[in-house]
Amino acid sequence: MAGIRQVHDLVRSIKVRRIAVFSLYNEHGIADDYVIFLLEKLREFVERIVVVSNGNLSKLSEIAIKASCDQLLVRENVGFDVWGYKTGIDAVGFDALSEYDELILLNDTCYGPLFPFSEMFSEMERRDCDFWGSAAHSQMTPNPFTGTGHLPRHLTANFIAIREKMLKSRAFKTYWENLPAIKTYIDAIMLHESQFTKHFTDLGYSAEAYVDPDKYGSHYPAFINVDETIINRFPLLKRRPFFHDPTFLNAQGIDLPRALRVLEETSDYDLNLIWRNVLRTSELRNLNTNAALMSVLPDERAKDGDAPSDYGKIAVCAHIYYTDMLEEILALTGNIPVPYDFIATTDTPEKKAEIEATLAKRPGVKNVIVRIVEKNRGRDMSSLFISLRDLLVDDRYDLVCRLHTKKSPQVQASRSNLFKRHMLENLLNTRGYVHNVLDMFHDNPLVGLAVPPVVHISYPTMGHAWFFNRPKVEETARLLNIKVKFDHDTPVAAYGTMFWFRPRALRKIFEHKWKWEDFNAEPNHVDGGLAHVLERLIAYAAQDAGYTTRHIMCAHQAAHNYTMLEFKLQKLASLMPSGDFPWQCHLLSEWKKAGYPVANHLPPAASSSQTSVTSVKRSLGKLNLAIKNSLWFRAPTLFKILRPIYRAVAKP
């Protein structure tokens, strides 16, 4: 308490006396480190801080928050941040508020300060206004939430400062006394955020914004121009760009990866504060897409050749079922630029002897361990998580490369070989390439897993890679107490089960004592079985442990994958009436909801049934009407262009 009093004495010597109400919400009752840091930095400019938690806090979070504020109020999670602000204001009282020069209302939807708060406060102190915000949102016509009228220009609700004249006014008190019930996120915008600024400017009070949309050319620069605002040293970074639908970021040209690069170069803000929060709260596919968590690494080491190579203790763990592939595997592990242990599993004593003989004088290999699996169930997944559990459940290895002799005899050889190269080359392509992989882990302690991106050439994985595994993945996650959100369509995964990893990132999987009977018996190595489930759970286990998953590619694999992906996407787009991606998604979503009605693609028996044809025609009619209504609402100009086509199609 003595330390807080000293800070209070220091703040009182500052010309402007400020009080802050901070609205906090977390579904798990956790006050992340970024919140504590923000409050500590805010303290330098604020005399009193009141934190309002919408919902209960964990004991540790409650202790941390209380140490960073003057008063903590815990309330039921109703009314969103708006009623959190009201609760704090009511607790302080309007008479007590009148003793201050400025009231700051802010919430936990931003990281910061990325740059010293002093820069923003000093600038805004020079502005002659009655209230100000860190950022503003310009007027939009029509209102995107109603489709009609206007969304007024307004200060965004995550950081607004109210000055003495307005703070002491009867109008300000009346506004909060008459605040309507807020039941939804849209209510919070429509009934408060978008109205607060207009309400008080209509009464004659003047408002200013530190980040002004007029200077950036978009309606919401704190979100849409996130990279440009950071270049201009805006101290706050919205959380939403990390987990928002990538379709929106694509449509608006939002460049979060550039913003993160600028931060690394110009700010001393600890980015780990961001990653620890977003990893716990984001869907992994959205996060990896929005933040571009992919590295296309060169075949030569990017760092100076004399740079130290202290990577810790490294192991290769390989399941060698096909011993005729061992030399191919060893040729690639020979690219590991530091000594490593080679740990192998196989299924017969004869193969064990062959592996040991081959590895006996292999350069670069320090120690050799070869084990025979007890049962041939689960293949490479069971061998890793059962046979090698004792070697990987502790911290004896800092980094492991997981490999196996993949042949996929169930598919055409050209396809299986392409899949094999996709994994092996993106993990171990050249000595310089592997140096870069190891440097990435060394320089980024939060990277826990490095995998090739989803294989899509010759495989129907894009948008469908859960196959039949998701229910069992969710069940297994509950068993292991893995508490993260799963992606809807294409999980981030170590497809083919070859990857680099930190053992501690997968601790929850290794700690569980799996049984051989948990895995499908041969030859039923199928989707829905535990082996395929763990394949899709690995990245989410790392996320749950607080680690990022990085996709890695060598240059020639990136070229092949990108050009084929571009071809497939443009081919699909060329079959649509518009090149607008959000509209394409909406159109196909409506088709999916209608049950994909296409009469020509019905099986012969169904096509001969009048009932089925009538049902399809009815579905097509409903789909056509839904598309027309949506198009008229979302893109009236395009609707007018396409209207003659709709009429022609509708004619018998």
Tens-place pLDDT, residues 88-111: 999 999 999 999 999 999 999 999
Nearest-5° Cα angle at 321, 535 to 470: 15
Tens-place pLDDT, residues 41-67: 999 999 999 999 999 999 999 999 999
Structure tokens at 4: 């807080």
Is 249 part of a structural domain of the chain? no
Residues 6+ apart with CB under 8 A from 111: 34, 38, 236, 237, 239, 269, 273, 274, 277
8 A C-beta contact, residue 300 and residue 325: no
Tens-place pLDDT, residues 18-38: 999 999 998 889 999 999 999
- Confidence band for 381, pLDDT divided at 50, 70 and 90: very high
Q: Is the pLDDT of residue 645 over 70?
A: no
Is 612 part of a structural domain of the chain? no
* Mean pLDDT confidence for 5-24: 70
- Confidence band for 6, pLDDT divided at 50, 70 and 90: very low
537 and 638: one domain? Answer: no
Q: Is the pLDDT of residue 649 over 50?
A: no
Tens-place pLDDT, residues 210-265: 999 999 999 999 999 999 999 999 999 999 999 999 999 999 999 999 999 999 99
369 and 506: one domain? Answer: yes
Is 591 part of a structural domain of the chain? no
**Residue from 620, 272, 402 nearest 628 by CA:** 620
452 and 358: one domain? Answer: yes
CATH number at residue 182: 3.90.550.10
Tens-place pLDDT, residues 510-525: 999 999 999 998 877 7
Check residue 600 and give its pLDDT: 56
- Confidence band for 306, pLDDT divided at 50, 70 and 90: confident
Check residue 31 and give its pLDDT: 96
Tens-place pLDDT, residues 499-510: 999 999 999 999
Structure tokens at 647: 């009429």
The pTM (predicted TM-score) of the whole model is: 0.87
* Mean pLDDT confidence for 524-543: 93
* Mean pLDDT confidence for 531-558: 97
Q: Is the pLDDT of residue 540 over 90?
A: yes
Q: Which of 524, 540, 565 is the last residue of a domain?
A: 565
Phi/psi at 96 (nearest 5 deg)? Answer: -70, -35
**Residue from 250, 212, 285 nearest 490 by CA:** 285
User: What percent of the chain stands above pLDDT 90?
Assistant: 83
Nearest-5° Cα angle at 133, 55 to 282: 45
**The dihedral of CA 338, 344, 350, 351: what is its sign?**
negative
Is 46 part of a structural domain of the chain? yes
| Strand ranges in 424-560 using DSSP code E only, listed in sequence order | 447-451, 499-501, 548-554
Residue span of the structural domain in which 627 resides: 619-649
Is 559 part of a structural domain of the chain? yes
Q: Which of 172, 190, 211 is the last residue of a domain?
A: 211
Work out how many domains the chain is built from and give that number: 3
Which amino acid is located at 181 in the chain?
Answer: A
Q: Which of 178, 211, 244 is the last residue of a domain?
A: 211
31 and 103: one domain? Answer: yes
**How buried is residue 338: exposed, middle or buried, by Cβ count under 10 Å (0-12/13-18/19+)?**
middle
501 and 634: one domain? Answer: no
Which amino acid is located at 492 in the chain?
Answer: V
636 and 510: one domain? Answer: no
531 and 639: one domain? Answer: no
CB-CB neighbours of 390 under 10 Å: 10
* Mean pLDDT confidence for 479-490: 95
Is 102 part of a structural domain of the chain? yes
Check residue 652 and give its pLDDT: 38
Report DSSP letters for 153-166, one per residue.
-EE-TTEEEEEHHH
**The dihedral of CA 333, 336, 339, 341: what is its sign?**
negative
- Confidence band for 77, pLDDT divided at 50, 70 and 90: very high
195 and 343: one domain? Answer: no
Is 396 part of a structural domain of the chain? yes
Question: What letter would DSSP give residue 487?
Answer: P
Which range has the worst mean pLDDT, 105-109, 303-307, 391-395, 464-468?
Answer: 303-307
ω into 113 cis (within 30 of 0): yes
Q: Is the pLDDT of residue 414 over 60?
A: yes
641 and 544: one domain? Answer: no
53 and 176: one domain? Answer: yes
8 A C-beta contact, residue 410 and residue 537: no
Beta-bridged to residue 365, according to DSSP, are 340
Q: Give the integer Cα–Cα distance in Å for 193 and 208.
A: 15
User: What percent of the chain stands above pLDDT 70?
Assistant: 90
8 A C-beta contact, residue 204 and residue 114: no
Q: Is 208 helix (H, G, I), strand (E, B) or coil?
A: strand
| Strand ranges in 354-502 using DSSP code E only, listed in sequence order | 365-372, 399-404, 447-451, 499-501
559 and 636: one domain? Answer: no
CATH number at residue 471: 3.90.550
Residues 6+ apart with CB under 8 A from 582: 247, 248, 251
Nearest-5° Cα angle at 230, 225 to 232: 100
Q: Are strands 399-404 and 48-54 parallel, antiparallel or unpaired?
A: unpaired
Q: Is the pLDDT of residue 465 over 60?
A: yes
Tens-place pLDDT, residues 117-127: 999 999 999 99
Average pLDDT, the chain: 91
Query: Which of the two residues, 618 and 288, has the higher pLDDT score?
Result: 288
Check residue 644 and give its pLDDT: 52
336 and 207: one domain? Answer: no
Check residue 527 and give its pLDDT: 86
The secondary structure of the chain in percent helix, strand, coil, rounded to multiples of 5, reads 50, 15, 35
Q: Give the integer Cα–Cα distance in Å for 65 and 73.
A: 10
Check residue 524 and give its pLDDT: 75
Residues 6+ apart with CB under 8 A from 137: 151, 153, 154, 155, 156, 194, 213, 219, 220
- Confidence band for 132, pLDDT divided at 50, 70 and 90: very high
* Mean pLDDT confidence for 421-426: 97
- Cβ density class 4-39: b for 16+ within 10 Å, e for less: eeeeeeebeeeebebbbbbbbbbeebbbbebbbbbb
Is 574 part of a structural domain of the chain? no
Q: Give the integer Cα–Cα distance in Å for 388 and 398.
A: 15
* Mean pLDDT confidence for 593-616: 55
Q: What is the CA radius of gyration of the chain?
A: 29
Which range has the worst mean pLDDT, 8-17, 404-413, 476-485?
Answer: 8-17
Check residue 15 and give its pLDDT: 79
Structure tokens at 581: 């991606």
